[in-house]
């Protein structure tokens, strides 16, 4: 009963947080949209005054013009939802967002106006780049980290630690610019822009995609895997000093089995948590790195939405990011409770 | 805690810290960084942030050129910047009406292209008789004996700047001269191809081999440098020397380098080295402020939450989760983009608002352990209030951990500030590394190969980050309380 109750508690908790965050996001974005809509409305009204309004003024006189102007303004206010009270709008937007009805954008992006469809186009691209890279990072990081922990204090261990410390302080987008400078500009091995060529199909398309993805993926792996290896190493060193490892060694279990069977199993909970956050986080892309590489994923989409003031798209994307994060939290809690039973006992005892 | 205990504890800590090589390296780096930041006005240009966006201030600098030391690594050497003031010029008064100013410029062997341009400015003219305006003619004498008329009888005023390489009239005159020498015919202003003048480098041919029979386009495309002594001649005619005074005291003649200074220049001719040095101030200040503030807030919040327990704890943790689940960078960009004028303080506040949650969680879990200790119970039994227990008994236990956290969260804050600046959201009255990179990205510096503009700011960010990571990991090793493992 403990585990299920613990799980239910975590999920309800996440849903409450999601509700509140959705309202906050809606309040924030609706406020921004109201400002831009107001100026848009006045612009349109001015335009009308100069064209149709002038005609009415000429043919029917000033009074009719004033009437027509008031009617036009009312219809425009209706169009831009300026006559609806602010909190009413926030509430409507939040409810619609929670129902996954994100609305439409004013300009088509990726050939469609529907926010859900736009996100559906961008997510696979971010997965293609960042999830692939994250998987490489996880495998490389855990493997190297475990190796460093086994030979703690060796040259390999020290080199890895230094590399991790250095890459931890590098901005990923700047590293991307550097690599573009070296590998794309100077050596010409990779393209300067990672935007796909839409004319290619079949095998040529796949080759084009791989060629264009190589540099961003390499950058991501280069900057991130050191930190992963270092964290894994620290966790593993702590675990390798525990008594049960010594007992296993005393029993004569092969070293390979001790490392991967006993120690890594015991060190799993925090590592699994990291994996979940990294994998789900990778769906959201990276705003600046995608800008640097000119890659049309989620991050760049967010930037485009900000530049073009697409409120619906912004709310949709932000909601998507929030859901991803909360899903990671719940999933991590779930697996943590599964791998380390002490956690759920502690939680249910408190309840 | 008595004062003696603190002194003792601190001495012990120092002794241990001295054994950590990485920590010592970090501290040395930090001292260097602080010194660099503090001495910025003396080692570079004073009040740089005020001048940074004023493109007129950088007019006398070449644009997009690499640093001077780059010559050590290439066979094609590029000339450095050279500036001449009144004392280095030869000024001869031919007669009452005519003055000749001569400037000698040497293009040594092995150098390519010559300067990027020539700028003559700050000739002061007091005009009392507007119908007899003084005029200036500019000639360029080359080592092969040929003379190029760059500018003939142009009206002279105080605001006049002769800019060889930027002025299209001068570029046209160079083209006309090129045609005249190579093909032997005179063409007019209207026969000069405009695209060539606007797009091509028209200064390089001035310093290149030009002989009859050569092709003009070839010379412009691929100029062969002609080393030797060149002479820039300014001839100033003043028809009414009694009414109109021409004064040369402030005159400044600049041969724009193909290389410049310690770190080259950007697209406005700004000295990137000065920008880098000044940028370190912002990075250090924001990095340290943000990490200190968010650590303090996180600690107090987490400990309070743990200590109060029950519903208050649940409530405070929900608020924590709400802040944690709002995607921070997008929201920061949104707030920054709509806030109008942004100050550095505003950026600090924003980064703190979205930066305290992780620390609060860890502090809470640590405080939950401490809370159960008997001495807390004893303090409660003695009638100590909540505030006293939190600030006097629980928080001091977490302090060592706090120092490590502060150091380790500086890189994140520095990168976050740089990221915002990189996206164009930053204080327009400050010079920051992120803004330098923003300009580089906007001008597509990476795709043009301007490495001196892209690499140094990022290295600066990396060095500041590394400094604090080194200190932080050393502190962590020494101060790491057992609690942290739990």
pLDDT digits (tens, 9 = 90+) for A156-172: 988 998 899 888 888 88
Task: Out of A21, A178, A303, name the one closest to residue B326 (CB).
Answer: A21
Residue A314 contacts residue A29 (beta carbons within 8 Å): yes
- pLDDT band of residue A139 (cuts 50, 70, 90) is very high
CA A94/CA A319 separation, integer angstroms: 10
C-beta atoms of A32 and B461 within 8 A: no
Say if B83 is an interface residue toward chain A (CB within 8 Å): no
DSSP state of A260: I
The pLDDT tens digits of the residues spanning A191-244 come to 877 777 777 677 777 888 888 888 999 999 999 999 899 888 888 888 888 888
pLDDT band at residue A348 using 50, 70 and 90 as cut-offs: very low
Average pLDDT across chain A, whole number: 83
Which tens digits make up the pLDDT trace of A26-84? 888 888 888 777 888 888 888 888 877 777 777 777 777 788 878 888 888 877 777 77
Residue of A nearest to B319 (CA): A17
**With an 8 Å Cβ cutoff, is B194 touching chain A?**
no
CA distance A255 to chain B (A): 25
pLDDT value at B39 more than 50: yes
Mark yes or no for CB contact B321/A32 under 8 Å: no
Contact A181 B462 (CB under 8 A): no
Report the C-alpha gap between B171 and B201 in whole angstroms: 9
- Residue-level pLDDT at B3: 66
Cβ contacts of B457 on chain A, cutoff 8 Å: 174
β-strands B98-107, B90-93 pairing: antiparallel
Measured distance CA(A229)–CA(A236) in Å, rounded = 10
Name the packing angle between helices B357-371 and B272-308 (round to 10°): 40
pLDDT of residue A343: 59
For position B154, what pLDDT does the model report? 85
**Candidate from B326, B440, B466 with C-beta closest to A169:** B466
Question: Helix, strand, or coil here: B158?
Answer: coil
Please answer yes or no on whether B330 and A317 come within 8 Å at the CB atom.
Answer: yes
Residues A266-272 have a mean pLDDT of 83
Residues of chain A with Cβ-Cβ distance to B365 below 8 Å are: none
What are φ and ψ of residue A241, in 5° steps?
-90, -5
3-state secondary structure (DSSP) of residue B92:
strand
Angstrom distance (rounded) from CA A23 to CA B406: 32
pLDDT over 60 at B341, yes or no: yes
Which backbone phi and psi does B113 adopt, to 5 degrees? Answer: 75, -30
Q: Using alpha carbons only, what angle is made at residue A35 by residues A33 and A39, rounded to the nearest 5 degrees?
A: 115
Query: Which residue is it, tokens 């807390």?
Result: B376
Residue B203 DSSP one-character state:
S
**DSSP secondary structure of B366-388:** HHHHHHTSHHHHHHHHTT--HHH
- Please answer yes or no on whether B330 and A321 come within 8 Å at the CB atom: yes
> DSSP of A146-164, one letter per residue?
HHHHHTTTSHHHHHHHHHH
pLDDT (0 to 100) of residue B99? 87
Which of the residue ranges A1-5, A317-321, B93-97, B127-131 has the most confident prediction, judged by mean pLDDT?
A: A317-321
Reply yes or no on whether the pLDDT at B129 is more than 50: yes
Question: From CA A230, how far away is CA A169, in angstroms rounded?
Answer: 14
CB proximity B460 to A under 8 Å: no
Please report which confidence band the pLDDT of residue B371 belongs to, taking 50, 70 and 90 as the band edges: confident
In angstroms, the CA A41 to CA A37 distance is 6
A170 and B461 within 8 Å at the Cβ level: the answer is yes
- Cβ of residue B312 closer than 8 Å to a chain A Cβ: no
Could you identify the residue written with the tokens 């962590």? Answer: B476
| Cβ <8 Å between A177 and B437 | yes
Closest of B326, B336, B327, B324 to residue B420, by C-alpha: B336
Query: For residues B98 and B76, what is the distance between their CA atoms, to the nearest angstrom?
Result: 41
Chain A residues in contact with B326 (beta carbon < 8 A): 21, 24-25, 318, 322
Q: What's the mean per-residue pLDDT of chain B? A: 86
* Cα radius of gyration (chain B): 32
At B32, is the pLDDT very low, low, confident or very high (cuts 50, 70, 90)? very high
Of residues A328, A323, A304, A329, the one with CA closest to residue A314: A304
Q: What is the DSSP letter of B241?
A: T
B486 — pLDDT class (breaks 50, 70, 90): very low
How many angstroms away from the CA of B448 is the closest CA of chain A?
Answer: 7
pLDDT surpassing 60 at residue A334? yes
State the pLDDT at residue B2. Answer: 58
Query: Is the pLDDT higher at B322 or at A66?
Result: B322
Partner-chain residue, chosen from A21, A175, A186, that has the shortest CB–CB distance to B325 = A21
What is the reported pLDDT for A350?
46
Position B246 scores a pLDDT of 85
Pick B318's closest partner by Cβ from A16, A32, A185: A16
Q: Check CB contact under 8 Å for A169 and B462.
A: yes
Which residue from B326, B437, B485 is facing A174, i.e. has the nearest CB? B437
pLDDT bin (cut points 50, 70, 90) of residue A342 is low
The pTM score is 0.83
pLDDT value at residue B278: 92
Q: Do strands B111-112 and B77-78 pair parallel, antiparallel, or not at all (unpaired)?
A: parallel
For residues B38-60, give the mean pLDDT.
Answer: 86
Q: Give the model's pLDDT for residue A344.
A: 53
Three-state DSSP state, B208: strand
Any idea which residue has 């969680």 for tokens?
A: B361
Residue B339's pLDDT band (cuts 50, 70, 90): confident
Both structure tokens of A241? 């000093």
Concatenated DSSP letters of A294-348: T--SHHHHHHHHHHTT-HHHHHHHHHHHHHHHHHHHHHHHHHHHHH-HHHHHHHH
Instruction: State how far Cα B94 lies from the chain centre.
Output: 46
Q: What is the pLDDT of residues A11-28, one digit of tens each?
A: 888 898 889 988 888 888
Q: How far is residue B161's CA from residue B182's CA, in Å, rounded to a whole number?
A: 30
* Residues comprising chain B, all counted: 486
The confidence band for B293, taking pLDDT boundaries of 50, 70 and 90, is very high
CA distance A312 to A25: 11
Round to whole Å and give the CA distance between A36 and A42.
10
Cα gap B179→B195, rounded to integer Å: 16
Three-state SS at B136: strand
Residues 6+ apart with CB under 8 A from A148: A154, A156, A157, A160, A161, A229, A230, A233
Q: How close B306 comes to chain A (CA, Å)? A: 13
Residues of chain A in contact with residue B451, where contact means CB-CB under 8 angstroms, are 181
When CB atoms are compared, the residue of A32, A165, A288 closest to B419 is: A288
The pair phi, psi for residue A285, each rounded to 5°, is 70, -165
**Pick from B22, B318, B451: which is nearest to A181 by CB?**
B451
pLDDT at B198: 83
Q: How far is it, in rounded angstroms, from Cα B201 to Cα B196?
A: 9
Q: Which of residues 1-40 of B touch A (CB under 8 A)?
A: 22
* Distance (Å) from the alpha carbon of B446 to chain A's nearest alpha carbon: 5
Write out the two tokens for A310: 């697409």
More confident residue, B149 or A341: B149
Each residue's pLDDT tens digit, B297-313: 999 999 999 888 888 98
For position A92, what pLDDT does the model report?
Answer: 82
Contact B257, B79 (CB under 8 A): yes
pLDDT bin (cut points 50, 70, 90) of residue B475 is confident
pLDDT above 90 as % of chain B:
13
Q: What is the rounded CA–CA span in Å between residue B228 and residue B208?
A: 11
Whole-number pLDDT of residue B280: 92
In A, minimum Cα distance to B337 occurs at A306
- The partner residue sitting opposite B446, judged by closest CB among A25, A180, A302, is A180
Whether the per-residue pLDDT at A346 is higher than 50: the answer is: no
Within 8 A of A288 by CB-CB distance, chain B residues are 419, 422-423
- Would you call B324 an interface residue with chain A, using a CB distance cutoff of 8 Å? yes
Task: Using pLDDT thresholds of 50, 70 and 90, give the confidence band for residue A261.
Answer: confident
pLDDT score at B342: 82
Confidence of residue B447 (pLDDT cuts 50, 70, 90): confident
Question: Is A17 within 8 Å of B473 when comparing Cβ atoms?
Answer: no
Tens of pLDDT, residue by residue over A121-137, are: 888 888 888 899 999 99
Give residue B35's pLDDT band: very low, low, confident or very high (50, 70, 90): very high
- Residue whose structure tokens are 């409660």: B380
CA-based nearest residue to B395, from B292, B296, B319: B296
| pLDDT in the model for residue B485 | 38
Closest CA to B256 of B206, B218, B219: B206
Q: Does A288 contact B455 at a Cβ distance shorter than 8 Å? A: no
Residues 6+ apart with CB under 8 A from B16: B478
Check CB contact under 8 Å for A287 and B329: yes
d(CA A19, CA A14): 9
Nearest CA in chain A to B318: A17
Pairing of strands A104-109, B77-78: unpaired
Sequence-separated (6 or more) residues with CB below 8 Å from residue B318: A13, A16, A17, A20
Q: Which residue is it, tokens 């930037």?
A: A303
pLDDT band at B483 (very low <50, low <70, confident <90, very high): very low
d(CA A123, CA A49): 44
Q: Say how far apart CA B364 and CA B367 lie, in whole Å.
A: 5
Record: contact B457-A292, CB cut-off 8 A: no
Give the distance from CA B61 to its chain's centroid. Answer: 15
- Which among A35, A169, A192 has the least Cβ separation from residue B465? A169
For β-strands B135-141 and B228-237, DSSP reports them as antiparallel
pLDDT tens-digit profile of A87-107? Answer: 888 888 888 888 887 777 777
Contacts of residue B330 in chain A, CB cutoff 8 Å? 287, 302, 306, 314, 317-318, 321
Interface contact flag, A177 B458, Cβ < 8 Å: yes
Average confidence (pLDDT) over B353-375: 86
Q: Which of A20, A238, A287 sits opposite B322 (nearest CB)?
A: A20
Instruction: Sort out which chain A residues have CB atoms less than 8 A from B453's CB and list them.
Output: none
Q: With H, G, I as helix, E, B as strand and everything else as coil, classify residue B252.
A: strand
| Residues whose CB falls within 8 Å of the CB of residue A263, separated by 6 or more in sequence, listed in order | A236, A239, A240, A245
* Beta-carbon separation of A170 and B465 below 8 A: yes
Nearest CB among A17, A168, A192 relative to B447 is that of: A192
Q: Residue B147 pLDDT > 70, yes or no?
A: yes
What is the pLDDT, as a whole number, of residue B482?
A: 41
Residue B215: strand, helix, or coil: coil
Q: Which of B322, B448, B458 sits opposite A21 (nearest CB)?
A: B322
Using an 8 Å CB-CB cutoff, list chain B residues near A311: none
Question: Quick one: pLDDT at residue A315?
Answer: 86
pLDDT, average across residues B135-148 = 88
Closest listed residue to residue B304, CA positions, set B317, B289, B322:
B317
User: How many whole angstroms separate alpha carbon A287 and alpha carbon A173?
Assistant: 9
A190 CB-near residues (< 8 Å, 6+ apart): A183, A184, A211, A212, A214, A215
**Rounded to a whole number, what is the distance in Å from the CA of B112 to chain A's nearest CA?**
21
Give mean pLDDT, residues B226-234.
88
Q: Which of A121, A290, A118 is nearest to A213 (CA)?
A: A290
How many angstroms separate the CA of residue B458 from the nearest CA in chain A? 6
């Amino acid at each position: 009963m403990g585990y299920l109750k613990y799980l239910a508690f975590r999920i309800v908790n996440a849903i409450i947080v999601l509700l509140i965050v959705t309202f906050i996001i809606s309040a924030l974005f609706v406020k921004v949209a109201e400002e831009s809509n107001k100026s848009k409305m006045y612009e349109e009204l001015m335009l009308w005054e100069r064209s149709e309004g002038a005609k009415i003024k000429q043919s029917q006189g000033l009074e009719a013009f004033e009437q027509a102007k008031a009617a036009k303004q009312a219809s425009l206010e209706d169009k831009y939802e300026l006559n609806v009270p602010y909190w009413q709008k926030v509430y409507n937007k939040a409810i619609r967002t929670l129902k996954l009805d994100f609305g439409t954008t004013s300009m088509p992006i990726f050939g469609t106006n529907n926010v859900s469809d736009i996100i559906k186009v961008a997510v696979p691209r971010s997965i293609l780049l960042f999830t692939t890279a994250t998987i490489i990072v996880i495998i490389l990081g855990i493997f190297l980290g475990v190796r460093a922990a086994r030979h703690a204090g060796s040259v390999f261990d020290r080199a890895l630690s230094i590399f991790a410390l250095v890459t931890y302080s590098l901005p990923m987008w700047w590293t991307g610019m550097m690599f573009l400078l070296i590998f794309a500009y100077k050596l010409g091995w990779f393209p300067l822009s990672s935007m796909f060529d839409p004319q290619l199909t079949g095998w040529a398309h796949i080759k084009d995609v791989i060629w264009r993805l190589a540099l961003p993926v390499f950058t991501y792996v280069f900057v991130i895997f050191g930190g992963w290896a270092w964290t894994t190493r620290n966790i593993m060193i702590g675990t390798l000093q525990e008594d049960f490892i010594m007992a296993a060694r005393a029993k004569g279990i092969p070293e390979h089995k001790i490392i991967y069977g006993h120690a890594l199993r015991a060190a799993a909970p925090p590592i699994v948590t990291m994996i979940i956050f990294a994998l789900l986080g990778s769906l959201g892309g990276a705003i600046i790195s995608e800008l640097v590489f000119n890659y049309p994923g989620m991050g760049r989409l967010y930037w485009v939405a900000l530049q073009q003031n697409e409120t619906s798209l912004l709310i949709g994307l932000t909601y998507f990011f929030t859901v991803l994060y909360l899903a990671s939290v719940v999933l991590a809690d779930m697996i943590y409770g599964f791998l380390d039973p002490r956690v759920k006992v502690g939680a249910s005892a408190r309840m | 805690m008595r004062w003696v205990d603190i002194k003792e504890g601190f001495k012990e800590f120092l002794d241990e810290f001295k054994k950590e090589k990485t920590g010592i390296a970090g501290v040395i780096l930090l001292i260097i960084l602080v010194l660099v930041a503090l001495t910025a006005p003396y080692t570079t240009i004073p009040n740089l942030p005020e001048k940074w966006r004023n493109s007129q201030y950088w007019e006398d600098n070449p644009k997009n050129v690499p640093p001077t030391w780059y010559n050590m690594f290439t066979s094609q050497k590029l000339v450095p910047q050279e500036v001449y003031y009144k004392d280095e010029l030869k000024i001869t008064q031919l007669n009452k009406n005519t003055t000749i100013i001569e400037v000698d410029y040497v293009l040594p062997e092995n150098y390519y292209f010559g300067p990027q341009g020539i700028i003559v400015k700050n000739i002061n003219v007091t005009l009392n008789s507007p119908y007899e305006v003084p005029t200036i003619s500019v000639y360029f004498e080359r080592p092969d004996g040929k003379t190029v008329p760059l500018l003939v009888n142009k009206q002279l005023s105080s605001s006049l700047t002769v800019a060889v390489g930027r002025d299209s009239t001068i570029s046209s005159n160079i083209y006309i001269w090129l045609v005249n020498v190579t093909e032997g015919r005179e063409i007019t202003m209207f026969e000069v191809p405009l695209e060539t003048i606007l797009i091509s480098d028209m200064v390089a041919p001035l310093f290149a081999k030009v002989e009859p029979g050569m092709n003009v386009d070839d010379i412009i495309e691929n100029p062969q440098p002609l080393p030797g002594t060149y002479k820039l001649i300014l001839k100033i005619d003043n028809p009414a020397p009694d009414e109109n005074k021409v004064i040369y005291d402030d005159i400044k003649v600049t041969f724009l380098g193909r290389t410049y200074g310690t770190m080259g220049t950007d697209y406005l001719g700004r000295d990137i080295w000065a920008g880098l040095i000044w940028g370190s101030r912002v990075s250090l200040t924001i990095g340290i402020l943000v990490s200190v503030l968010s650590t303090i807030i996180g600690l107090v919040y987490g400990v309070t939450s743990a200590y109060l327990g029950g519903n208050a704890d649940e409530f405070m943790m929900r608020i924590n989760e709400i802040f944690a689940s709002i995607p921070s960078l997008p929201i920061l960009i949104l707030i920054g983009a709509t806030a109008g004028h942004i100050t550095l303080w505003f950026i600090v506040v924003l980064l703190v608002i979205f930066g305290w949650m992780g620390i609060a969680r860890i502090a809470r879990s640590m405080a939950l352990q401490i809370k159960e200790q008997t001495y807390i119970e004893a303090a409660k039994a003695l009638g100590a209030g909540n505030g006293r227990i939190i600030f006097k008994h629980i928080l001091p236990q977490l302090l060592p951990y706090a120092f490590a956290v502060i150091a380790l969260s500086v890189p994140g804050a520095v990168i976050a500030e740089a990221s915002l600046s990189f996206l164009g959201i930053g204080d327009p009255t400050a010079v920051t590394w992120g803004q330098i990179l923003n300009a580089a990205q906007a001008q597509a510096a990476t795709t043009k190969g301007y490495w001196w503009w892209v690499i140094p700011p990022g290295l600066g960010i990396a060095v500041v980050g590394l400094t604090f990571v080194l200190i932080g990991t050393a502190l962590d090793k020494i101060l790491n309380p057992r609690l942290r493992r739990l």
